[in-house]
């Protein structure tokens, strides 16, 4: 096998035998030294910097070495062997002279030459108590809140019941067909604190002494006001001689004549003059109602309030 030199002549190819042959190693070292000189831009006495020179022949049995990759001396990149990197150097020329900066970037951030400090303080943020209650505190707070709501509701209901509104149950048929047994109504307790009693109002009042089961409240309709004279003729009521129109009755001629009425200003049979501070009341079911015809006029100050709405049953919700 032959190689052509840069001058065009043929030279015997570099062949070596075994790597442990002294002549072969001397030839390799010389070749490496010349290659290193070319890469650094230096020249020897036997070569020109711009052309290749055939190397010294080796014994015939030496194997052909790998051809080096030549680069222009102007680049200035040295050829570094494994021995140079590991510090073993070259047995002929010794280790490479000079300093070679390798582009090694450390894996840590910051300065490329400063390794991280293992015992550097770690930024531990201070814990802040945001006041979030635990399960026990949350349960205690819920009990307090619901207890406050219930107590407030009870107090409000007591105030409303005492001063504003109150529900009543109708136990008898004395107000039919306006109110039926089992109906529930709401009574406005402020009505007669704001205005006088009007004819036709449905009023709830405390039963007069000796009437009904002790302390039972009654509901009736106001027929005559203080100072008026009420009588019954031919099934109709007359107020001061005038005929009373009662559209709430199922039929107009349903009121029977009545006899002597207790508690009236005069004692005329079948007539009653209402005293001051009292009203004459009757049930809408005239044939089945125990009212002022039997126990006399009712004091206004015994009136609890005015019934204004029926709330039960739901289907019978109605303004009175």
Catalytic center residues: 174, 220
Under 8 Å between Cβ of 13 and 2: yes
Q: If we measure between CA atoms, which residue out of 192, 200, 220 comes closest to residue 293?
A: 220
DSSP SS3 for 288? helix
Q: How many whole angstroms separate alpha carbon 39 and alpha carbon 41?
A: 6
Name 44's Cβ contacts closer than 8 Å, sequence gap at least 6. 34, 37
Give the distance from CA 159 to its chain's centroid: 35
Supply angle C-alpha 290, 248, 178, rounded to 5: 65
**Number of helices and strands (H, E) in the chain?**
5, 14
Concatenated DSSP letters of 40-86: TT---TT--TTS--PPPP--TTBPPPPPP----TTT-PPP--HHHHH
């Amino acid at each position: 096998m032959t190689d052509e030199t840069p001058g065009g002549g043929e030279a015997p190819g570099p062949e070596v035998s075994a790597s442990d042959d002294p002549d072969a190693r001397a030839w390799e070292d010389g070749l490496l030294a010349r290659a290193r000189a070319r890469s650094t831009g230096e020249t020897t006495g036997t070569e020109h910097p711009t052309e290749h020179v055939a190397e010294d022949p080796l014994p015939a049995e030496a194997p052909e070495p790998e051809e080096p990759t030549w680069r222009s001396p102007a680049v200035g990149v040295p050829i570094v062997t494994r021995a140079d990197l590991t510090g073993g150097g070259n047995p002929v020329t010794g280790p490479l002279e000079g300093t070679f900066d390798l582009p090694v970037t450390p894996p840590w951030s910051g300065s490329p030459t400063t390794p991280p400090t293992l015992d550097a303080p770690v930024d531990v943020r201070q814990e802040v108590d945001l006041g979030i209650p635990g399960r026990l505190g949350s349960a205690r707070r819920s009990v307090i809140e619901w207890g406050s709501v219930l107590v407030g509701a009870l107090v409000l209901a007591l105030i409303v019941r005492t001063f504003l509104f109150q529900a009543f149950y109708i136990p008898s048929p004395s107000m039919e067909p306006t109110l039926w047994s089992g109906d529930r109504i709401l009574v406005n307790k402020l009505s007669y604190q704001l205005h006088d009693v009007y004819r036709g109002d449905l009023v709830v009042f405390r039963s007069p002494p000796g009437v009904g089961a002790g302390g039972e409240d009654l509901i009736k309709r106001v027929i005559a006001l203080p100072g008026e004279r009420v009588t019954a003729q031919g099934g109709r009521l007359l107020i001061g001689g005038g005929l009373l129109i009662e559209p709430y009755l199922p039929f107009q001629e349903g009121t029977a004549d009545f006899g002597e009425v207790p508690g009236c200003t005069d004692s005329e049979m079948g007539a009653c003059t209402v005293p001051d501070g009292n009203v004459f009341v009757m049930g809408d079911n005239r044939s089945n109602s125990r009212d002022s015809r039997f126990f006399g006029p009712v004091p206004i100050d015994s009136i609890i309030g005015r019934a204004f709405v029926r709330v039960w049953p739901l289907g019978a919700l109605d303004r009175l």
